[in-house]
Structure 1
Amino acid sequence: MNAPQSNGPASVLRAAYEAASAAVADLGDEESWLPSGCTGWAVRDLVFHWLQDAQRALVSLHTPAHGPADRDAVTYWRDWRPDTAGAANGRRWVRVNGSMFLDFGQLRGLYLETLAAAAHAAATARPGTLVATQGHVLTAGDLTTTLTVEATVHHLDLTVRLPHAPGPSAEGLAAVRATLDGLLGRPGLPEWSDTHYARVGTGRAALTDEERAALGPAADRFPLFG
């Protein structure tokens, strides 16, 4: 077994997952029914989706692939554009399957242990190893960064109606900003906080007229992924 990585993408993912776990660990059943920032999903639906992503991480990190890589930590997101029909189907699938957990505590427990396992798998993977996920080949390091980005954006979704829950990690938000900058081909507006950039960059919030004017033609590319 490879020694755990003490820095790099795996440590950033661990910070993101630890922050996410802290936000979910104390949630009760009533709170799990509150709306999230994802259209049509309650908190428990989002947690189930998050669980599915951590399970995908475990599979991907143990699925060696032949090269060359056809995606990296930025270009991976070019496939994830707003899609009304696809989004609606995904919302229904998650709601139906997530509803099988009658006790939120069961879902919460599975979520927490799976995130911990995925973080450990990322720490013991060689960053340059090629792995497969969702029809593409990436390095394990780049895959790990995409997992950080997804976890951090969904952490923001989770806390929309949970103002007292711990927020995302600073490391995770920095990874989201770097990804959005890469997709945009330039830095976001300097006055944007990491959180606001994450929201407008992924379509969670609309650009204001002033922001559109400041961005110029680049404004038409928003959301950068969603």
Structure 2
Amino acid sequence: MDLFSRSLSDLLDTVGDLTDDDFARPSGCADWLVRDLVCHFVIDAQDVLITLVTPTADAVTHDAVTYWKVSHAPSDDPLAALTVRLAAAYGEPWMLKHHVQDVGRAAVRAAQIADPRLKVGTQDMVLAVADYLGAYVWEWTLHHLDLVAHLPHARRPHADALARCREVLERVGGAFPASWRDEDVLLVGTGRRAPTEAERAELGDLRIPFVLG
């Protein structure tokens, strides 16, 4: 749960440092500008707040890893186009920056006071709060890499969050070479960067990319 708060706080700090020009730059998500990705953070933070106040007495069905559905093909998110339109509706970058900080910091606070043993329901799944927040470390960290993909001056995700996400990826897909940096495992493993010829040889029969959604 601490890693959830750290990874989201780091992401929000990075957004807070962005200039107006940065919002118009491409992100690491195909067809999305930085502003579109930041708008997606607003939606995600709202989802966290909603889920944390949606307790259930039903039996747990998923954990922090099985929460994610794994495939090898790009996901078709029906909300992607809506997110782009919502982002454009903010008009000025400061409006979007203010909103994401508002709901994002609220999500951090809500996570800090949540009972980790409480069960919550989301997307037809039931998880313990600790596992639900643990699953979101993947979301915040991978999208943090997307946020800074074309912003070399921006701060990168915390090492602990990168290591945790590597652990998740290797649990669902198989081990990557131990010598690889965690960030490279995530970028190559999720198709955000093509492997070099040497990296491809090291991967052997490991099938990539892994799409978790």
TM normalised by structure 2 equals 0.92
Distance, in Å, in 2 between the alignment partners of 1:103 and 1:211 is: 42
Q: Distance in 1 between matches of 2:195 and 2:65?
A: 22
Is 1:220 the counterpart of 2:211 in the alignment?
no
Alignment-mate amino acid for residue 161 of structure 1:
H
Structure 2: distance between partners of 1:144 and 1:40: 28
Secondary structure class of the residue paired with 1:77: coil
Partner SS state of residue 27, structure 2? coil
Secondary structure at the counterpart of residue 132 of structure 1? strand
Partner of 1:140: 129
Instruction: Name the residue aligned to 1:30.
Output: 21
Equivalent residue number for residue 46 of structure 1: 37
Contact 2:70–2:211 (8 Å) recurs in 1: no
In 2: Cα distance, 1:82 partner to 1:70 partner: 25
How many matched pairs? 213
Aligned counterpart, 1:63: 54
Displacement, 1:160?
1.3
Counterpart AA for 1:127: P
TM-superposed deviation, 1:197 = 0.9
Whether the 8 Å CA contact 1:48–1:107 is kept in 2: the answer is: yes
Residue 79 of structure 1 deviates from its aligned partner by: 5.2
Q: Distance in 1 between matches of 2:57 and 2:208?
A: 33
Report what 2:65 is aligned to: 74
CA distance in 2 between partners of 1:34 and 1:175 (Å): 28
| Structure 2 counterpart of 1:151 | 140
Check conservation: 1:180, 1:224, Cα contact below 8 A.
no
Distance 2:208 2:69 in 1: 12
CA distance in 2, matches of 1:132, 1:167: 31
Query: Does residue 202 of structure 1 match 2:193?
Result: no
Please tell me the residue identity of whatever aligns with 2:47.
R
What is the deviation of 1:181? 1.7
Letter in 1 for 2:121: A
Q: Distance in 2 between matches of 1:153 and 1:73?
A: 15
Shift of 1:91: 2.6
How far apart are the structure 1 equivalents of 2:120 and 2:202? 39
Quote the residue 1:123 is aligned against: 112
Q: Which runs of 5+ in 1 are unaligned?
A: 1-9
Partner Cα distance (1:51, 1:73) in 2:
21
SS in 2 for 1:205: coil
CA deviations 1:22-42 (Å, max 9, x no partner) are 211122222100000000110
**What do the CA deviations read for 1:107-134 (whole angstroms, capped 9, x no partner)?**
1011112111111111111212111112
Contact 1:71-1:137 within 8 A present in 2 as well: yes
The code of the aligned residue for 1:21 comes to L
Distance 1:224 1:107 in 2: 28
Distance 1:176 1:160 in 2: 17
Secondary structure of the residue that 1:116 maps to in structure 2? Answer: helix
Superposed CA RMSD: 1.9
Match of residue 88 from structure 2? 99
Contact 2:71–2:210, Cα closer than 8 Å, also in 1: no
Relative to structure 1, is the Cα distance of residues 83 and 163 closer, same or farther in structure 2, using a 3 angstrom cutoff? closer
Structure 2 counterpart of 1:193, which letter?
Answer: R
SS in 2 for 1:179: helix
Secondary structure at the aligned position of 2:207 is classed as helix
**Is 20-29 or 152-161 further displaced after alignment?**
20-29
TM-score, normalising length: structure 1: 0.87
Q: Larger % of helix: which?
A: 1
In the alignment, structure 2 segments of 5+ residues that lack a partner are none
Match of 2:180 in 1: 192
